[in-house]
Amino acid sequence: MPLMVVHHPLAQHYLTHLRDETTKPALFRTLTRKLTILLAIEATRELRLTTHAIRTPLMSINSPVLDDDLVVVPILRAGLGMVDAITELFPEVSVGYIGMERDEATAVASSYYRKLPDVTGRTVLLVDPMLATGGSAARALEDLYGQDPLRVQLICVVAAPEGVARLEADFPSLNIFTAALDEGLNDRKYIVPGLGDFGDRLYGTF
């Protein structure tokens, strides 16, 4: 299951308002957080569980608790808008950062910052709202897979077929979770219909 499109009605509702060019940054940030929660729940369905002895008001039981060590890694800057939703769901999660900047002329991503915890044997949630050419994600994934994680799950808001195909070919064990697989890329390598520049819309830097 390398690609999972989350068709939950609420996810699609949030996505419609994220696409809408009239949505203001404050609402855009709120919708991003809410949609990320839905995507993250799908991306963490296979987390390991163990049992923990507790006592209810009526009796003692062994009950399931999470037994997976999680790391969330946003690709800066747009990925930052997805982090709070992950930390709300998983308060003990470790947070790393990878900074990528795309050259607007060549659409090639270059790294300007990298700060990661040890991800060896851990489940990594890589978050980046837009999977376009796959260049930024591929650079980040090279760093992450080089540390031998248990698994890596990429969570994005929208994806283009070109980026999905690249990541599926280069990282066959990667799972991608998104709210939409869009039509493709235009001549500027922007996703269409897409929702514009996610970072600009998130932070109001038009």
The residues annotated with a catalytic role in the active site are 102, 106, 197, 200
Contact 150, 187 (CB under 8 A): no
Q: Which residues contact 127 (CB under 8 A, 6 or more apart)?
A: 36, 72, 73, 74, 75, 79, 82, 83, 86, 154, 155, 156
